[in-house]
């Protein structure tokens, strides 16, 4: 079965990127998470069996973390 992979950009409140990254890395579908410089503070790579799982479980759960201000989810097409 092909897995659905996504990259999720996460914007955090000032000074919260490292703490949020640590929480994100504990999530089941998350493959990796990096604190980065730029418009967003963290880039998350996630993988699941279905698009719904990536969008609902990962993206929705990310938005509920304390310190997360905004997210953008990009589903890989290949």
Model confidence pLDDT, tens digit, residues 13-70: 999 999 999 999 999 899 999 999 999 999 999 999 998 888 887 778 898 999 999 9
Question: What phi, psi does 50 have (nearest 5°)?
Answer: -135, 155
Name the pTM for this structure. 0.92
**Taking Cα atoms as reference points, which of 10, 7, 5 lies closest to residue 71?**
10
Contact yes or no for 47/67 (Cβ under 8 A):
no
Per CATH, domain 4-75 is 3.30.70.920: yes
Q: In the prediction, which pLDDT does 26 show?
A: 94
| Half-sphere exposure of residue 29: CA atoms within 13 angstroms, side-chain side | 24
Beta pairing partners, 46: 6, 30
Q: In the prediction, which pLDDT does 21 show?
A: 98
| Half-sphere exposure of residue 69: CA atoms within 13 angstroms, side-chain side | 11
């Amino acid at each position: 079965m092909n897995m659905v992979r996504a990259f999720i950009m996460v914007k955090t409140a000032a000074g919260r990127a490292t703490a949020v990254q640590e929480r994100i890395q504990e999530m089941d579908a998350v493959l990796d998470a990096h604190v980065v410089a730029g418009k967003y503070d963290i880039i998350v790579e996630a993988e699941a069996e279905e698009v719904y799982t990536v969008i609902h479980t990962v993206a929705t759960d990310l938005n509920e973390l304390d310190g997360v201000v905004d997210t953008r989810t990009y589903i890989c097409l290949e």
